[in-house]
Amino acid sequence: MYPRKRALERIAREKFLYARSQGGDISVCVIYPNAYRLAMANLGFQAVFHIFESDPRVAADRAFLPDPDEREHFRSGAERVVSFERGRPLSDFDILAFSISFETDYLNVLSVLKMAGIPARRRDRAGRNFPLIIAGGSAVFLNPEPIADFIDIFLIGEGEEMVPEFLECYQTTRGAPDQIRELASVEGAYVPEYYAPVYDETGRLAAVTYSGSGSGQVNRRLIRDLNRFPTSSLILTEESVFGDMFLVEASRGCQWGCRFCAAGFMYRPIRYRKPENLIAEAERGLGERGVIGLVGAEMASVPGVAAIASAVADRGGRLSPSSLKADCISPALASALARGGNQTVTVAPEAGSERMRKVINKNLTEAEILQAAEMMLGEGVANLKFYFMLGLPEERDEDVVAIAELVAKVLERARARRTRIGSVTVSLNPFVPKPWTPFQWDAMRDAREIKRKVALLRTRLLKLGQVELDAESPREAYFQTLVSRGDRRVAGILERLEASGCEGAGAIWHELVKIHREAEAGADDLPDPDFYVTRSYDADELLPWDFIDHHIHKWFLLAERKKAHFEHQSPPCDVVRCTVCGAC
């Protein structure tokens, strides 16, 4: 069997950095609903697999979405997806645990279940001997509703404490007729069958009836002290997309409060790991890889980051931070990154104009961006990569043109100072409104409008030379918005996409256009995707994810949205003295 041969070859190339346990009598398969090379680059997936595998009650295995060249083989029914290590049918496990970091992988959840011969709908598994299907990960923290009809239990929040509590409850209630009700008592557990959404004549969510015990509000779990749980690479393989790196998580959350950014709100309050702990993890990682990938929302403001970069460089390694806020880049950090051999550094201004950076609460001036670029280039970093967004609320064409103008100023400064500069990459991403952010009520711009803005910018960037434009497709962003802001009715759309064999942004887009046209023509079997994507939600509207308690006041998010309209900025989070948003 060719797919099994590939799995065995991959297993032979893996290196585990912890002692594996023999396992107990609870069989759990932890599933990443995307390809192996992406799964093994995901610290969240590795961490949750380690939690399960380290529990003496559990015999743990992994599974992945088959590689693209294998998928038709499984779709045809010629063979079933089996677990990675043992080659065991997924239907034979006690628990299937999906680790979902990205909402666009919701579609792949259905594909994995279908390829395993397991009914996707919860109602179709009822009373039959199928595994308990659970799901966690950052995507479901925000909004699990588009796949709520497919999952038995969601674990909402960080899993370091919640997963062991869930396993304890599972073991003590195993075989009980009311086990699901008992498992619902685990803090952070969300059992969708106890919640029934009610929609009004406009299609908006009018109410949610709850049949379980308690209030029905689900408390998102959070680890207050990250230093208790080091999170770094646990399984190394060169096939991973970061195969040359040892990854170390530096923080969770972000202090800056950018109004579009889910990570800055869903992980509140910001928590950092101690610099000495990060240095120790980096030193351990340098025994395995020459590059240390520092992971988190924003790395330049991590306490002691310059010392960490310097310690890595002193030992002959290179620190590769995920993203840097320009005004937080110090000369010491720039020097240490260059000394470690960094040839490319990523900076995220997000918007080209000062006005738009106020709208999104970036707290970053043009002078600070130019100074940071000059500093990095002056220290010997050859290439710069800038992240920008298009289609943000309140955006105008002059704000788009300002992106090219800002890049032009970076190049002009470098040339005026005769500083060597290799390439400049402008990475463009369409704005996707995310739950639990001040912009959760705002619509995504029409795909045609996004394309027009990209063309407007491309024309100006071409005149600059040595600038590469990397623009994400608005079709991908459309699908991401659909599954980010959708309710349970989106489940039917996902089933339609899966049944049509849609893979890739183009195929998904064309099928969604068909569904939109059918809805416009009066078909009522599926909702119109535009209802979730290009519609602004009302400020007093009941939102599909409102039952989750992220400890952030909705009035605070609305106030931040109003500030955006008036181009007013808010200061960064002060977790010592401020309690305004409700997270602290």
Residue-wise DSSP of 42-108: -HHHHHHHHHHHHSTTEEEEEEEPPPHHHHHHHHTTSS--B-TTT--BGGGSSEEEEE---GGGHHH
**Distance between CA atoms of 347 and 334, rounded to whole angstroms?**
12
Looking at the predicted structure, is the pLDDT value of residue 210 above 70?
yes
Encoded tokens for 503: 């893979």
Give residue 421's pLDDT: 85
For tokens 């396993």, what's the residue? 167
Mean pLDDT of the chain: 94
| Alpha-carbon distances, residue 300 vs 295, 336, 357, 566, 579 (angstroms) | 11, 12, 18, 28, 25
Task: Reduce the DSSP state of residue 175 to 3 states and report it.
Answer: coil
Start-end of H helices in 204-324: 263-266, 275-286, 305-314
CATH of range 2-218; options 3.90.228.20, 3.30.2130.10, 3.40.50.280, 3.40.50.720: 3.40.50.280
For tokens 């090379």, what's the residue? 37
Looking at the predicted structure, is the pLDDT value of residue 1 above 70?
no
Mean pLDDT for the stretch of residues 143-166: 98
The dihedral region occupied by 250, where left means phi > 0, alpha psi between -120 and 50, and beta the remainder, is alpha
Tens-place pLDDT, residues 403-460: 999 999 999 988 888 888 888 999 999 999 999 999 999 999 999 999 999 999 999 9
What's the CA angle centered on 176, arms 172 and 180, to 5 degrees? 85
Answer for the pair 306, 330: CB distance below 8 angstroms, yes or no.
yes
Distance of CA 457 to the CA centre of its chain: 27
The reply to whether CATH 3.80.30.20 applies to domain 244-438+454-464+552-584 is yes
Single-letter residue type at 61: D
Q: What are the E-state strand segments in 183-269?
A: 189-190, 195-199, 205-210, 218-219, 235-236, 245-249, 251-252
Give residue 256's pLDDT: 92
- 479 vs 505, which has greater pLDDT? 479
Single-letter residue type at 13: R
Encoded tokens for 17: 């950095």
Mean pLDDT for the stretch of residues 107-120: 96
Give residue 584's pLDDT: 84
Percent of the chain with pLDDT over 90: 85
**Distance between CA atoms of 379 and 372, rounded to whole angstroms?**
11
Give residue 502's pLDDT: 87
| DSSP single-letter state for residue 232 | B
Distance of CA 298 to the CA centre of its chain: 14
Give residue 438's pLDDT: 98
Give residue 78's pLDDT: 77
Give residue 138's pLDDT: 95
Give residue 77's pLDDT: 78
**Distance between CA atoms of 181 and 213, rounded to whole angstroms?**
8
Looking at the predicted structure, is the pLDDT value of residue 2 above 70?
no
**Distance between CA atoms of 177 and 186, rounded to whole angstroms?**
17
Looking at the predicted structure, is the pLDDT value of residue 38 above 80?
yes
Give residue 577's pLDDT: 83
Give residue 192's pLDDT: 98
179-209 exposure pattern, b = at least 16 Cβ within 10 A, e = fewer: ebeebbebebbbbbbbbebeeeeeeebeebe
Tens-place pLDDT, residues 243-272: 999 999 999 999 999 999 999 999 999 999
Residue spans per domain, the chain: 2-218, 244-438+454-464+552-584
Looking at the predicted structure, is the pLDDT value of residue 275 above 90?
yes
Answer for the pair 23, 53: CB distance below 8 angstroms, yes or no.
yes
Looking at the predicted structure, is the pLDDT value of residue 378 above 90?
no
Mean pLDDT for the stretch of residues 377-406: 94
pTM of the model: 0.96
**Distance between CA atoms of 475 and 457, rounded to whole angstroms?**
18
Cα pseudo-dihedral 488, 490, 494, 495, rounded to 10: 70
Give residue 4's pLDDT: 86
Report helix angle 366-378 to 397-416, nearest 10: 40
Start-end of H helices in 420-578: 447-462, 474-485, 490-499, 505-520, 530-533, 554-565
